[in-house]
């Protein structure tokens, strides 16, 4: 993907989630720290395993429909950007 300066979505302002005691999340404070450290490595990752699972779930026809819809949206966004 190519980074762009255009914002294609609105920025959402979300409330901060309530703080939860350590034992209710992963069992203890040290386990929370371990899991958070591991999860930080994979935060925001979308890759081949995800697309493989999507293709397996949708099948050939479903994949065609999703691809066609994504192309329509991409084309309309490109046209919208070109007109401005």
Per residue in 52-63, pLDDT (tens digit) is 998 899 888 888
Residue 67: both structure tokens together: 């691809």
Task: Give kind and range of the element (H or E) at residue 39.
Answer: helix 29-42
Q: 25 or 73: which carries more pLDDT confidence?
A: 73
pLDDT of 44 > 90? The answer is no
Integer CA distances (angstroms), 67 to 12, 44, 74, 77, 79, in order: 27, 22, 10, 15, 18
Torsion of CA 42, 60, 58, 43, to 10 degrees: 10
Residue 42: both structure tokens together: 């994979």
How would residue 73 be classed by pLDDT, with cut points 50, 70 and 90?
A: very high
């Amino acid at each position: 993907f190519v980074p762009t300066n255009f914002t294609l979505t609105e920025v959402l302002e979300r409330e901060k989630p309530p703080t939860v005691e350590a034992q209710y999340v992963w069992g203890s404070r040290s386990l929370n720290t371990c899991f958070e450290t591991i999860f930080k490595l994979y935060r925001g990752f979308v890759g081949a395993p995800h697309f493989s699972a999507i293709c397996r779930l949708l099948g050939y026809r479903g994949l065609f429909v999703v691809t066609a819809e994504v192309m329509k949206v991409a084309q309309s966004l490109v046209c919208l950007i070109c007109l401005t």
